[in-house]
Amino acid sequence: MEETQSETADGGESPEGEMTKEDVPESSEGDSVLGRHRSFSPQLLTGRPPTRDPQCREVLLDPRTSVPELFAVLRQWVPQVQKNISLIGNEILKRGCGVNDRDGLTDMSLLHYTCKAGAPGIGDAETAASFARQLLCLGALPGLRSRWTNMNALHYAAYFDVPPLIRVVLQASPPGEVDATCSDFDFGTALHIAASNLCLSAAKCLLEMGANPAFRDGFSNGPNDLDPKSTEDWRHQLKF
């Protein structure tokens, strides 16, 4: 299996197996989980159900399966993985990974992955919401951002159209975070992200949670301006 390395903030390679703290803004706290993959069962990357396939489950529960290897499993965008976010996430935590530590490849935390894992047609929103509550109780920071995308948990939940995760994240966030902007989306808000992806359920939920429909992004576009179809039905349903 291809080895994965991460780099420290000064550009040098990190020693194998270490966790390093980068000098980043407060909103991007959390350690990157580094290290190389050992050779492990290819069944984990085939999309076979980890809870139903005895060999896959055995590898998941094996203490020798490392945190980077488990994060590699979480990156597999298949229902058999995403619907088991709680199982895989808890195995990551059992191995000593901090609740705000990040995948060394994507710079995403467990909460970020959990917000993705509720996506319609791929994951299970209620299972993901339950695990998100667990992570938040353990001290997960809802405002933590990936350095690659500058997205926080709310942005991921909006992008993947997961209202239950939007509610869970906002209930744990300071007032005003519903309109937190993201530079990768032209400094638009979660509502801009939902509108540009035609995520109607997420957009409705954000409006119910107090999102500002008049907020303008870096190009002076409101959420309604980003609707790629510009349908009257969309505007009517959202009541922009």
pLDDT digits (tens, 9 = 90+) for 132-151: 999 999 999 999 999 999 99
Total structural domains in the chain?
2
Q: Looking at the domain assignment, is residue 191 inside a domain?
A: yes
Segments forming the whole domain that contains residue 189: 185-240
Interval 149-208: pLDDT, tens: 999 999 999 999 999 999 999 999 999 999 999 999 999 999 999 999 999 999 999 999
Both 25 and 86 in a single domain? yes
Both 137 and 30 in a single domain? yes
pLDDT at 240 > cutoff 90: no
Both 136 and 203 in a single domain? no
Provide the pLDDT for residue 181.
Answer: 98
**d(C-alpha 52, C-alpha 215), whole Å:** 46
Interval 226-238: pLDDT, tens: 766 555 555 666 6
How buried is residue 6: exposed, middle or buried, by Cβ count under 10 Å (0-12/13-18/19+)? buried
CATH of residue 224: 1.25.40.20
Q: Looking at the domain assignment, is residue 124 inside a domain?
A: yes
**d(C-alpha 62, C-alpha 68), whole Å:** 14
Within 13 A of 169's CA, how many CA atoms are on the CB side? Answer: 33
* The model's pTM: 0.79
Provide the pLDDT for residue 89.
Answer: 98
**d(C-alpha 127, C-alpha 120), whole Å:** 12
Q: Looking at the domain assignment, is residue 98 inside a domain?
A: yes
Please list the residues that pair with 13 across neighbouring strands: 7
Task: Choose one of 146, 173, 200: the last residue of a domain.
Answer: 173
Q: Looking at the domain assignment, is residue 2 inside a domain?
A: no
How buried is residue 187: exposed, middle or buried, by Cβ count under 10 Å (0-12/13-18/19+)? middle
**d(C-alpha 48, C-alpha 37), whole Å:** 20
Coil/strand/helix, residue 145: coil
Task: Choose one of 153, 173, 193: the last residue of a domain.
Answer: 173
Q: Which of 57, 54, 55, 120 is nearest to 84 (CA)?
A: 57
pLDDT at 224 > cutoff 70: yes
